[in-house]
Amino acid sequence: MAAPASPFDQEAFESGIAVLESMGYRVKIPENLFSKHGYLAGSDVERSFQLMKLFEDETVGAIFCVRGGFGSMRLLPLLDFETIRAQPKILIGFSDITTLLVAIYSRCSMVTFHGPLVTTLNKTSEKTRSGLVDAVGSSMPLALKPSKPMILNPGKVSGPVLGGNLTSLCHLMGTPYEPPFDGHLLFLEDRGEAPYRIDRMLSQLSIGGHLDGVAGVVLGSFLDCGSLEDVHTIVTEAFRHRGVPILAGFDLGHGTDNLTLPIGIKAELDTEDASLRFQEPATNEDNA
């Protein structure tokens, strides 16, 4: 367990632990996991030290983030990416955790996982839980299909998947941890951002040239972001001159269904088949 962002509710935490244990995981809880420092789960030094100790621990196979919220980005200058690269683990989380997932993938060439947090597990669906097992425990390549497919621009293309929470991605721009989007399938989701804010963030990425080399776009949930039709229109306009395939409606992000998505593995996006099919398992030795 790691708490790299905000403090968390004890009851939700214990319920999530029970779910993990029912799935067969043996849970290890760091001593300072319950620290609080304002709106953060401990100081930056405490949280970064906790995360690094988990990467260094040879008995740990997977690191589940307890909660998102705020603060993950503050850890990036304090992380030892060489150590992380030498001791790869399954790292799982979403929302504010996006900054860690993307930075570690970019710096360490390590596959990370956009998936449920510990405190969300008890409220998520069985589909979410089985999706987690499929992503991190299967020897077969993962295949995802949107529950409500919406083709915003047709096409078929391949590339490694990169992305997560749109707001968090934008905050990485202009920093040493800015990810390269070229050749990638860009996955986006968000929560509580009005359409004009989504427009502003995509405009920032577009004007900065970050969208020029994107191979395709995968859209997850946009919970409490106003009209979904408006959001889709904004995304379509942002990529209008690039002509890349855009497929929406995936159960990824802030929702009852939050399937686990590997970051950093090559996949094929096919709007005709309405699918995102990975070309290798997420947890084979080459991706560890």
Side-chain-side CA neighbours of residue 257 (13 Å) = 13
Rounded Cα distance, 40 and 134, in Å:
32
241-261 b/e with 16+ CB inside 10 Å = b?
A: ebebbbbbbbbbbbbebbbbb
Catalytic residues: 95, 189, 254
8 A C-beta contact, residue 115 and residue 259? yes
Beta bridge partners of residue 113, listed in sequence order: 92, 262
User: 105 by DSSP, 3-state: which?
Assistant: helix
Q: Which tokens belong to 41? A: 């789960």
Q: Output the CA–CA distances (angstroms, integers) from residue 7 to 40, 50, 115, 210, in the order listed.
A: 6, 14, 19, 33
